[in-house]
């Protein structure tokens, strides 16, 4: 009987709870884990969707994302996080 691969839907709540806060782009809220290349790419893609954070938190999150990208060999084309925010709108400041 052939086996089928199931695509992971992400980390479970239990897995996230076990991760160190520093493993997240936004550690205070434990948003956007940065534990592998797939999650780093996802954090970049969803950066503009994170709400309720200040610009200084976004600055710090961007630094963590860039460091994780270097660690996992993810190419980052964006010059900065502001270029990821659609329409130039500020969220959550």
Query: Is residue 25 pLDDT above 70, yes or no?
Result: yes
Q: How many other C-beta atoms can be found within 10 angstroms of the C-beta atom of residue 79?
A: 8
3-state secondary structure at position 26: strand
Q: 48: Cβ–Cβ under 8 A, 6 or more apart, which residues?
A: 84, 85, 86, 91
This prediction has a pTM of: 0.76
Query: Is residue 47 pLDDT above 90, yes or no?
Result: yes
pLDDT at 92: 41
Give the residues across from 31 on adjacent strands: 26
pLDDT digits (tens, 9 = 90+) for 54-70: 999 999 999 999 999 99
Q: Which runs of E-coded beta strand occur in the chain? A: 24-26, 31-33
Domain-by-domain residue ranges, the chain?
22-78
């Amino acid at each position: 009987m052939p086996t089928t691969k199931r695509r992971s839907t992400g980390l479970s709540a239990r897995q996230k709870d076990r991760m160190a806060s520093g493993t997240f782009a936004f550690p205070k809220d434990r948003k956007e884990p940065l534990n592998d290349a797939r999650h780093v790419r996802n954090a970049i893609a969803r950066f503009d969707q994170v709400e309720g954070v200040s610009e200084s938190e976004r600055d710090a999150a961007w630094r963590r994302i860039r460091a994780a990208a270097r660690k996992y060999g993810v190419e980052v084309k964006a010059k900065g996080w502001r270029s990821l925010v659609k329409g130039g709108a500020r969220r959550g400041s």
